[in-house]
A = this chain, B = another copy of it.
Amino acid sequence: MSGKLTGKVYLVGAGPGDPDLLTVKAHRLIRRAGVILHDDLVPAAILALAGPKAEATNVGKRCGRKGITQAEINARMIESARRGLEVVRLKSGDPGIFGRLAEEIDALETAGVPFEVVPGITAGIAAAASLGVSLTDRRKSSHVIIVSGHRAPKNAPEEKTDWKSLAREDATLVVYMPGNDFIIVREELLAAGLDPAIPAVIVSHATAPCQQHRSTTLGALNALPRMESPAVLLIGRSLDRAHGRSKSDAASLAFDEAELILSSL
């Protein structure tokens, strides 16, 4: 695809799912890339932007799949760039937030391959926007804490997130990969003294046509039904008007009891 003599790797954020939330730059880079190496979560509507001769490969590592290793992904990026191609390494959301970007940059630097990071809209920020709420509110929430529910790679000893240390009345907590079991996060945040009436919202498939969300409170978090991943869990006072004004309205199932608790705050 590229006539250039030296290739380059673009580590690009694909945003949360809606192709309209790609950056203008990401949109252009995808259209002209010679090679696209993408994660599982990048939707078909975004991959469809690629040119007809682009080699697009899913290098995702989701559970159950016979895995492509990180070393293989690194090798593919480097080899394609050395063929003189423009490589787009396409990661859902923003590449610098839970995207293993650091490891890929290390490999590219060691190999002497030119690269550039192109930021994307990260899922937590997209989820808040889709609900019509602000992550900060100078009257209520002056910090945003982004944390992952799942921290450890499979082969490493499980590192637990220390929820107690993250409990702040003046923060909005944005939890990526929250899983479906909120017993521990609820227990630890309450034990650290957070008000059980603090709003909590889980958003599944943020900005995708199948987006769903449920609004509840920290105290009622354990009663949330199972939500499909990818999901993001938001906890904080700035969410107290998260009634889902976007297209998620239509997709959201009824969850009357939790909504009732919320609207009575």
Contact = CB atoms under 8 A, between A and B. Distances in A.
A264 to B, nearest CB: 17
Interface string A198-240: 0000000000000000000000000000000000000000100
A190 interface: no
A250 interface: no
A129 B96 contact: yes
- Please state the number of chain copies in the assembly: 2
A25 to B, nearest CB: 4
Contact of A24 (B21, B117, B238): B21
Interface stretch (A34-42, A53-61, A97-105): A97-105
Contact of A22 (B19, B23, B102, B118): B23
Interface string A122-160: 100110111011111111101111111001110000010
A238 to B, nearest CB: 6
A147 B143 CA distance: 5
Contacts of A119: 21, 121, 125-126, 128-129
A20 B23 CA distance: 7
